[in-house]
Amino acid sequence: MRIGIDMGTTRTIAAGVDRGNYPVLPFTDPDGDEHSHFPSVIAEVDGQLVHGFEAERAARAGAPHLRSFKRPLGDPDTHPGTTVRLGGREHLLLDLMTAYLTAVREALPVPVGQVAASVPAHAHSAQRIMTLEAFRRAGTDVVALLNEPSAAGFEYTHHQSRSLTARRTRIAVYDLGGGTFDSSLVEADGGGHAVLGSHGVSRLGGDDMDQVLLELVLERAGLTVEELGAPAVDALREECRAAKERLLPQTRRMMIDLGEEHDPVILPVEDFYASAAPLIERTLEVMAPLVGELDAESGIAGIYLVGGGSGLPLVGRMLRERFGRRVHRSPYPAASTAIGLAIAADPDSGVSLADRLSRGIGVFREVRAGEGVSFDQVLTPDAPLPTAGTTAVTRSYTAAHDLGWFRFVEHAALDASGEPRGDLVPFADVLFPFDPALRSLDEAALAEVEVTRREGGPRIEERYELHPSGAVTLRITDLDSGFSREYGLARRG
């Protein structure tokens, strides 16, 4: 079966393709009960890794475990060599992702055919490359890697197409997940979808609201994290998450259980909302440039709320206060991205997507014979992603050194002087030997070479290729000799 898999920060959800329908696929826990998700939890039991429901059970029993392990993937300095600690040992994050996705594949109730997967809209290249690699190592054939709000746009037009009119053809997707916030403005014309812009925050989601609630409960109980102890704090965090997810618009009080040794805390919901409001306000500020005033001239049919975090009633309330009445929550908020991915994986769905990079890519270069440094923006944040093949950008010049040391960054925007500012994601430096005498050296040895200027260097071409997944590869070629090397533009440590 063709499947859409949304690997979420707290839960992974899958939807299948079934003759024009896109059902959410069930996962079965060890007790035989079915769930619409597979927990994003990894635990160590007797030296072995377990995942999902087994990991949740092991965590409750005190086993070393990782929750929300997808969060480190979005950190600016993450690369395929990044490690995380579990059970007193360091594990490659890529290995943990691979093992987890293998467990997801094995837990699905149907044979897995081709898969459409997702990443946050603002994911950097390392995040995209590692996600693709983990799915590949887990034995799945990934036919598409979509930005999460773009996939949710497919689900919107599948279930809410009547809200689109000749004058209102745009959807503003508000995607608040467990660990990230994304927003995209999507133009829909029949089956065609075009992303007009995307903004997001890499570390803002439901996990942060759980933390706010946990801190509020500890304050009301007169306890500290140290007094409660790590296992009890972890249990309390899960209790806070469950209490948050039970909230309804009419709920007035929350009861949080702190275990047998402490009295439960009764908390007015408005107190929690007052503490959580600044987090939601930040998402509104990030999304505001995409939406504007949401008036008749904007062409926006509405704001579409997706992601598990958007189920908090305060989110819808604050969006309506800020932008007006045209705020719609997906009937499947946690599963919207997975359903949209399944639609993308269906060759008969009749949908297409023109997406954008969402982050610019550039390199710092010497100018004026080494007297200064300038920034060369190779790809702009709004560069359209190719629907097939690759989009190529080239640079050519005469080398002025014996060794090229390229320092790449991804960036959200440039300032007035053309320099990257704000949220920068550095890549591992790329080393290319212009001098043939250096070409027998490996990368570690090249890093020890003292770069020197020289006249009469070879003619060099840089060829950047942007892939449909948003990943970027670079091939540097000595045009005089034909010597060439290819690099994936992602940090490698």
The structure tokens 């790449």 sit at 408
Tell me if 185 sits within 8 A of 169, measured CB to CB: no
Can you tell me the distance from the alpha carbon of 239 to that of 421, in angstroms, rounded to the nearest whole number?
A: 40
Q: Which tokens go with 57?
A: 């059970």
For 17-64, where are the E strands, in sequence order? Answer: 27-28, 34-35, 38-39, 41-45, 48-51
Tell me if 156 sits within 8 A of 174, measured CB to CB: no
pLDDT at position 294 is 65
Averages of pLDDT over runs of 10 residues in the chain (493 residues) are 94 95 96 95 94 94 88 81 90 95 96 92 81 93 89 88 80 91 88 85 89 95 88 89 93 91 93 97 92 73 90 94 86 92 92 81 76 83 85 94 88 75 66 95 90 90 90 93 87 46
Q: Kindly report the number of other CB atoms within 10 A of residue 482's CB atom.
A: 7
Specify the fold of 3-204+277-354: Nucleotidyltransferase; domain 5 (3.30.420)
Q: Under CATH, which architecture does the 206-276 domain have?
A: Alpha-Beta Complex (3.90)
User: Domain coordinates of the chain in residue numbers?
Assistant: 3-204+277-354, 206-276, 360-488
The structure tokens 């497919």 sit at 154
Indicate the CATH number for domain 360-488. Answer: 2.60.34
pLDDT at position 371 is 67
Sign of CA dihedral 95, 100, 103, 104: negative
pLDDT at position 175 is 94
CA-nearest of 391, 392, 381, 386 to 468 is: 386
What pTM value is reported for the model?
0.80
